[in-house]
Amino acid sequence: MDQNAIAILGGTGDQGLGLALRFAKAGRPVFIGSRKLERAVAAAQEVRDAVAGAQVEGLDNADAVVQAPIVILSVPFEHTAGTVKAVKERLVADQIVVSMGVPLATAIGDGAVRTVGVWQGSCAELVAALVPAGVHVVSAFQNVSAHRLRELAQPVECDVVVSGASGPRKTVMALCELVPGLRAIDGGPLANARFVEGVTALLIGLNVRYKVPEGVGLRFTGLPER
């Protein structure tokens, strides 16, 4: 396993592919996972076409998870539990699973921009309840616009609130900073994902009300300079 590699399950979707492009551009080996191998292979080709010298490979989700110490879950909320259950036996201690899902009501066919209640409190905590002991779950990237990720010539201009246990949280915060314009914010313990996931619903509503198809972003003000 290449310690610099990043696996992205559901990496063929808008937001996952956006992250794949950005991490490949930052020089990191990327493994795009999908339920359908041919879609993963096509997405990997799309990244290679956009980023000269990109090290990227398309694989089944189950094959992608064994390739990287960090596994980003970029699947619609309603596929979260199924995806984790399908790959969990291949996860090993100290691997980091990044939850970027949001329990939007679209998961249950409700088109309004709101969330459904998750028994564990958030999508991230649902994931944490499903992974084997020793695997770390970190919450991040929920509020980053897919459109802005994919505009490779532009910085993304968004803060990313990263929540989870201290060590893995720092690892994922460093990952955010590979992307120009993203700033990692220490979001404290994983349960704070409840607040962060809610912000996504708020942002989607703003995109609609203010007619910003590129996606509204978020910045925290008054933080000390790094």
Interface ranges with a copy of itself (CB under 8 A): 113-114, 145, 148, 157-158, 161, 185-188, 191-192, 194-196, 198-199, 201-203, 205-206, 209-212, 214-224
Phi, psi of 108 (to 5 degrees): -115, 20
Backbone angles phi, psi at 138, to 5 degrees: -130, 140
Q: How far is the CB of 52 from a copy of itself (least distance, A)?
A: 28
Q: Which is nearer to a copy of itself, 168 or 215 (CB)?
A: 215
What's the CA gap between 117 and 82, in Å, rounded?
18
Residue 176, classified by CB atoms within 10 Å of its CB into exposed (0-12), middle (13-18) or buried (19+), is buried
The two tokens of residue 161 are: 């609130």
Give the nearer residue to a copy of itself in terms of CB position, either 22 or 28.
Answer: 22
Minimum CB–partner distance for residue 48 and a copy of itself (Å):
29
Q: What is the dihedral of CA 155, 157, 161, 165, to 10 degrees?
A: 20
What is the smallest separation between the CB atom of 81 and a copy of itself, expressed in angstroms? 23
At residue 8, what are phi and psi to the nearest 5 degrees? Answer: -125, 105
Q: Which residue, 46 or 197, is less far from a copy of itself as judged by CB? A: 197
- Shortest distance in whole angstroms from residue 142 CB to a copy of itself: 12
Q: Which is nearer to a copy of itself, 25 or 148 (CB)?
A: 148
* Six token digits for residue 23: 């991490």
- Whole-angstrom distance between the N-terminal and C-terminal Cα of the chain? 32
**Whole-number minimum distance, CB 188 to a copy of itself, in Å?**
5
Nearer to a copy of itself, 5 or 193 (CB): 193
Contact of 166 with 34, CB cutoff 8 Å: no
Given phi > 0 = left and psi -120 to 50 = alpha, else beta, which region is 90?
A: alpha
> How far does Cα 130 stand from its chain's mean position?
17
- Least distance to a copy of itself, CB of residue 181, Å: 10
Which CB, 57 or 159, lies closer to a copy of itself? 159
Q: Is 2 helix (H, G, I), strand (E, B) or coil?
A: coil
